[in-house]
Amino acid sequence: MKKYSIKYILSNKNIYKKLINKIIIIQGWIKYYRNNIFIDINDGTSIKNLQVLIKDKKFLSIKKKINIGIPIKVIGILVYQKKNKNKIELIPNKIKIYKGYDLNYINNSILQNKYHKLSKLREEIYLRFRTNIFSTIIRIRSILFFEIHKFFYKNKYIYINTPIINKNNAEGAGEVFNITSLDSNNKNLKDLFNNEGKLTVSGQLELESSMYGLGKVYTFGPVFRAENSNTYKHLSEFWMLESEIMYYKLKDIINLAIKLIKYLLKKILIKCKDELFYLDQYHKKHNKFKDLNNRLKKIINNKFIKISYTNIIKLLKKEDNDIIKWGEDIGSIHEKIIFNNIFKKSLPIIIYNFPNKIKPFYMKRNKYNNTTKSIDILLPGVGEIIGGSERETSYKKLLKRIKKNKMNVKNINWYLNLRKLGKIYHSGFGLGVDRLIQFITGINNIRDVVPFPIYPGHI
Ligand code: 4AD
Ligand code: MG
C-alpha cells in the first residue's frame, strides 16, 4: 500500500493503468461533496481533484462529518469507470477525517464554497493558497522559476548570489529602503553597518564584478524599491532576474532576451496545460476572453517589434501631441496607447536608445543625439518587463556621472575599480519576473501572482 499524489495518479494513461485495481492511499482535503455520494479530494499537487465514491453503508457515520475544507485520508481501490465521465475513481475501504478543524472558521473564511474576487482573497492572504485560482497561479510561478534556472544552466551561465543587503544604490534613484540593527527604543547601541545598510534595488553592480571573473553570469532574487507606487504592476519587494555577459553588445543582449522569453513561454505551454486551461475558463467566466495558449504561441512564433525611442515618441505625438515630450520616460499611460492604438498586434515591443537623462549612470552612451545603448522590452497588458543596456567601460565617464548624480563615490569606488581591468565591453539586462507571470496568467494585478506581496502600506 503506497501513498500517491493526485497529480501523479491523474498525470497520464500509463500511470493510472498501472495503478488501476490497486489499493492506494491519498491524503488531502475535501474540495466538493456532490449528490451525497461523491467526495472530490484535492491535495494541492494539481488543479484536478480525485473523486471518491462513498456508496457503502459503512460510511454512513463518516458522511455526517463531511464538510468542504476539512482534512481527509482515504485508503481504497482505484477503479476505471467506463460509464462515468470522470473515468477514474477511488472506492474506499477506509476513510479517516482528521480532527482539529474549526468549521465555523472555515465556513466564514474565503474558503467558503463561493466565488470571491481576487481582491477579497487578498484579505486572507495566508488562506488563498487553498483556492483554485491562486494555487494555479502559484504552480505556474514555481515551474517558471525552475525553468529560468534551467535556461541559464543549459546555456552554461554561472549563478551568482548577489547580496540582499548592500550600500550601493545601483539604479541611482532615491528609492531605497535603509536598514538598521538598532531597536528604535534603544538609541545607545551602535548600528552594525554605521547606518549604511540598504536593501538592494538590483544585483547588477555586484553581478558585473562577478562577470569580470566568470564571463557569463546571472542572479535571481528579491529586490526592493521604496517608491510609493500603488499600481497594478508595482511591488516594494519583487523578483528580478539579471544577467551580465562579457563581450556582448546591445544586439547580443536583445537576442538573449528574446531567446529567454520564447524559451520560458514554450516551457509553460508544455508543462502547465491544466493550469492554462483552468485560467482560460476562469477568465471566460468573468467575461475576459484571453485564450492564453494562443497568446503565448503568438509570441513564440513571431518576431518582436523593434523601434527606437525617438521614433516611438514621434508615433505617440501623432496620437496626441501633448502626451509626451522627447526626453521624458515612457510610462503606463503611454504603454497603453502603444499597444491599443499604435501597434495593435499584441506582440512584444523592444524600444532602444533611450535618452541619457532618464537612464542610470552605468549605461553606455551613443556617440550621437544624447542617447544610451539601452533597451526596454514591453509586453501587452503589463508594459515594461525588461530593462537592459551595454555598460559603460570608461572609468572617467562613470566617475563624472556618479559625481553629477551626487552619489556616494566612496561606496561605489569598488565598481569604478573594475574598469581598471581594461575596456572589456559587456551588456546585461533585468527581467521583472512577477510581471512576466502577470502576462502568462492574464491576471491583472501583480499582488495576485506573488505568494506574499509587499507593497506600500502592506507588509
Ligand atoms: O528597469 P529596472 O529598474 O532595471 C534594473 O534594475 C537594472 N539594474 C536591470 C539590469 O540591467 N540588470 O528593473 C528591471 C525590471 C523592470 O523592467 C520591471 O519589469 C521590473 O524590473 N520592475 C518591477 N517589478 C515589480 N515592481 C516594481 N516596483 C518594479 N520595478 C521594476
Ligand atoms: Mg526600467
Ligand nearest to C-alpha 329: 2
Say what the pLDDT of residue 185 is: 77
Read off the pLDDT band of 171 (50, 70, 90).
confident
Helix axes 250-271, 292-301, angle to 10 degrees: 150
pLDDT at 86: 57
AA identity, residue 304: F
pLDDT reported for residue 121 = 97
- Can you tell me which atom of ligand 1 is nearest the CA of 204? 12
User: Ligand 2 mean position to 330 CA, how many Å?
Assistant: 10
* pLDDT tens-digit series, residues 403-414: 999 888 998 999
| CA separation for the pair 442, 13 (Å, rounded) | 30
Task: Give 169's pLDDT tier (boundaries 50, 70, 90).
Answer: confident
Let me know the angle formed at the C-alpha of 328 by 326 and 329, rounded to the nearest 5 degrees: 125
Ligand 2: distance of its center to the CA of 89 in Å? 51
CA of 386 to the centre of ligand 2 (A): 7
Question: From the CB of 359, is ligand 1 less than 6 Å away?
Answer: no
Integer CA distances (angstroms), 448 to 29, 33, 125, 345, 438, in order: 23, 28, 10, 26, 8
CB 281 within 8 A of CB 457: no
Task: Sort 373 into a burial class: Cβ within 10 Å, 0-12 / 13-18 / 19+.
Answer: buried
pLDDT at 84 over 80: no
Categorize the per-residue pLDDT at 274 as very low, low, confident or very high, splitting at 50, 70 and 90: very high
Q: Does ligand 1 come within 6 angstroms of the Cβ of 335?
A: no
Q: Is 292 exposed, middle or buried (0-12, 13-18, 19+ CB in 10 A)?
A: buried
Q: How many whole angstroms from its chain centre is CA 184?
A: 34
Share of the chain above pLDDT 90, in %: 87
* Any ligand 1 atom below 6 A from CB of 353: no
Q: Residue 17: which pLDDT band, with cuts at 50, 70 and 90?
A: confident
Whole-number pLDDT of residue 85: 67
Q: Which three cell numbers stand for residue 143?
A: 515551474
For the CA atoms of 14, 19, 24, 27, the dihedral, rounded to the nearest 10 degrees, stands at 20
Task: Tell me the pLDDT tens digit for each residue of 310-322.
Answer: 999 999 999 999 9
Task: Give the Cβ contact number of residue 266 at 10 Å.
Answer: 15
User: Dihedral through CA 264, CA 265, CA 271, CA 276, nearest 10?
Assistant: 140
354 alpha carbon, closest ligand:
2
Confidence at residue 209, expressed as pLDDT on a 0 to 100 scale: 98
pLDDT at 173 over 80: no
144-161 per-position pLDDT tens digit: 999 999 999 999 999 999
Each residue's pLDDT tens digit, 379-389: 999 999 999 99
How much distance in Å is there from the Cα of 422 to the middle of ligand 1?
A: 28
> Grid coordinates in use for 307?
523601434
Q: State which ligand 1 atom lies nearest to the alpha carbon of 389.
A: 11
Domains and CATH numbers, the chain: 2-111 (2.40.50.140), 130-448 (3.30.930.10)
Distance of CA 40 to the CA centre of its chain: 30
Q: What is the mean pLDDT of residues 332-341?
A: 96
User: What's the whole-number mean pLDDT along residues 33-56?
Assistant: 95
Q: How confident is the model at residue 12 (pLDDT cuts 50, 70, 90)?
A: confident
- Identify whether the C-beta of residue 347 lies closer than 8 Å to the C-beta of residue 302: yes
Cβ–ligand 1 distance for 242 under 6 Å, the answer yes
429 in contact with ligand 1, CB cutoff 6 A: yes
Quote the CA–CA distance of 78 and 52 in Å, as a whole number. 9
The angle that helices 273-285 and 132-154 make with each other, rounded to 10 degrees, is 140
Instruction: Tell me how far apart the alpha carbons of residues 65 and 62 are, in angstroms, rounded to a whole number.
Output: 5
User: What separation in Å is there between the alpha carbon of 136 and the centre of ligand 2?
Assistant: 29
**In sequence order, what are the beta bridge partners of 426?**
246
pLDDT in tens, 186-203: 777 788 888 889 999 999
Q: What is the tally of helices (H) and strands (E) in the chain?
A: 15, 16
Q: Is 316 helix (H, G, I), strand (E, B) or coil?
A: helix
Residue nearest to atom 22 of ligand 1 (CA): 432
pLDDT of residue 339: 97
> What is the share, in percent, of the chain residues with pLDDT greater than 70?
99
Return the bridge partners of 52, or none.
39, 90
What number is the average pLDDT over the span 359-369? 95
C-alpha 282 – ligand 2 centre gap (Å):
31
The grid coordinates listed for 287 are 467575461
Would you say the CB of residue 236 lies under 6 angstroms from ligand 1?
no
**6-20, 140-154, 387-401: lowest mean pLDDT where?**
6-20
Q: Could you tell me if the CB of 427 is within 6 A of ligand 1?
A: no
390 Cβ below 6 A of ligand 1: no
- Nearest-angstrom CA–CA distance, 73 and 52: 11
> Which grid cell sits at 436?
512576466
Report, as an integer, the average pLDDT of 125-137: 97
DSSP code of 398? H
Given a contact cutoff of 8 angstroms between Cβ atoms, the answer to whether 242 and 220 are in contact is yes
Alpha carbon 382 to its chain's center: 12
Residue 247 has what pLDDT?
98
Q: Report the SS3 class of residue 135.
A: helix
Instruction: Calculate how far, in angstroms, residue 370's C-alpha sits from the geometric centre of ligand 2.
Output: 18
| Residue 298, pLDDT above cutoff 70 | yes
Give the number of other CB atoms < 10 A from CB of residue 45: 17
